[in-house]
A = this chain, B = another copy of it.
Amino acid sequence: MKVTASQIRQDLNNFGGFGQQGYGYNVQFLYEEIGKIMGLNTEHRIIIIGAGNLGQALANYVKFEKLGFVITALFDVNPELSGKSVRGIPILMLSELDEYCRTHRVDIAALTMPKSKADSIASKLVDLGIRAIWNFAHVDLEIPNKDVVVESVHLSDSLMQLSYNIVKNSKNK
């Protein structure tokens, strides 16, 4: 993993002592403790706003569930998608969002709609009490509420990083 043993020990000790000097780490115990630190010991319920290709791709990712992230619903404005579902997860209309959030626990909202709508929907979600946003729209969301956690996935940043590494790589010859 390109990390020294020393760094592992330093990092773990930031959170506490999980091993026994002279004896070692209990791998199962350590794994669970790291999970607790990262919040993976509790279930996270996710709704996806935007049931286009990206939203549906996320809904199809089974691996998330193994980590405790359960996608409970998708929302879209396209009436043709109404009543349909992805892997058993219902696609609802955006007009049903308010009602849904009042009657269901929602821990995380994933934003996969066009960026023009991202800011307005984000502030609506915050008003509805959602405190975590997983943002795939190509904008830096403006959310004044400090209690709201935002994690953005900017794919074009990743592509530019790849491009830069191509440049670097070609210069090494």
Which residues of A come within 8 Å of B, CB atoms?
37-40, 44, 52-54, 56-58, 60-61, 63-64, 67, 69, 107-108, 131-132, 134, 138, 147, 149, 151, 153, 155-156, 158-167, 169
Report how many copies the assembly holds. Answer: 2
Which of A56, A69, A160 has the most chain B CB atoms inside 10 A of its CB?
A160
A134 touches B158 (CB 8 A): yes
Q: Does A39 lie within 8 Å of B156, measured CB to CB?
A: no
A interface majority secondary structure: helix
Q: Given the complex of chains A and B, what is the CA–CA distance between A37 and B167 in angstroms? A: 8
Q: How far is the CB of A89 from chain B (nearest CB, A)?
A: 13
| A67 pairs with B131, CB closer than 8 A | no
List residues of chain B with CB within 8 A of the CB of A37: 164, 167
Verify B39–A163 contact, CB threshold 8 A.
yes
Besides A38-B160, A54-B54, 13 other A-B contacts (C-beta < 8 A): A37-B167, A38-B167, A39-B166, A44-B166, A53-B60, A54-B57, A64-B156, A67-B156, A132-B162, A132-B166, A134-B159, A149-B165, A151-B165
